[in-house]
Amino acid sequence: MMLLLISLKSATMDHKCTFGTRPAIDIHMLNEIIFREVKHFRNYKIYRPNFGAIPVSTKFYARHDQIQDESPEQTQQVESYGQRVAQSRAQGPKNMYSSPATEAMVYGWYDTPLVPFNRNDKRFYFPKRESSHTKVEIIILMSSPPGAKSKAPPPPAHKQKNS
């Protein structure tokens, strides 16, 4: 038993406590860590206005937002910018793209059918007149119309005993 305790004690003594000091970092390992962290960052040097973004209101107390005397050229620039923003917002995706860019855009992109068909021909056009969902909704609405009051009997009144 004593021999077992001594062998366990010597096995745990191999790794000494360093009290928070770390081994030296390899410079190649540090460079690799930094490279992997910075790899996905991109610094843009050309900034363009985003016409789709909603502009944030100015701060009335900020010095850079105070316009003293606007020249006619500046007024014209502001008005043309506002017109360009309104024009770009009025455009839909069909004006921006030549074909649907995402799968969700496909569902409204082509509004005319490839082959014209007659809706009176029951061989090709057979819409459902009712579905299980609408049947249940009709039953619920018929059983309790919104304007009708419930005809449930009033709750019984409790009588107090006279003592």
pLDDT in tens, 82-137: 999 888 888 888 888 888 888 888 888 887 878 888 888 888 888 777 888 888 88
- Residue 26: is its pLDDT beyond 80? yes
- Residue 81: is its pLDDT beyond 80? yes
- The per-residue pLDDT for 46 is 75
Q: Is 92 left (phi over 0), alpha (psi -120 to 50) or beta?
A: beta
- The per-residue pLDDT for 80 is 93
Q: What is the token pair recorded at 41?
A: 């960052």
- The per-residue pLDDT for 162 is 60
Q: Is the Cβ–Cβ distance between 84 and 51 less than 8 Å? A: yes
Average pLDDT over residues 148-154: 62
- Residue 8: is its pLDDT beyond 50? no
Q: Is the Cβ–Cβ distance between 49 and 11 less than 8 Å? A: no
- The per-residue pLDDT for 141 is 84
DSSP structural state of residue 56? P
Q: CA quadruple 89, 92, 96, 102: dihedral positive or negative?
A: positive
Q: Is the Cβ–Cβ distance between 25 and 33 less than 8 Å? A: no
Confidence band for 152, pLDDT divided at 50, 70 and 90: low
- The per-residue pLDDT for 2 is 44
Spans of all domains in the chain:
74-110
Confidence band for 3, pLDDT divided at 50, 70 and 90: very low
**Comparison of pLDDT for 125 and 5, the residue scoring more:** 125
Q: Is the Cβ–Cβ distance between 106 and 100 less than 8 Å? A: yes
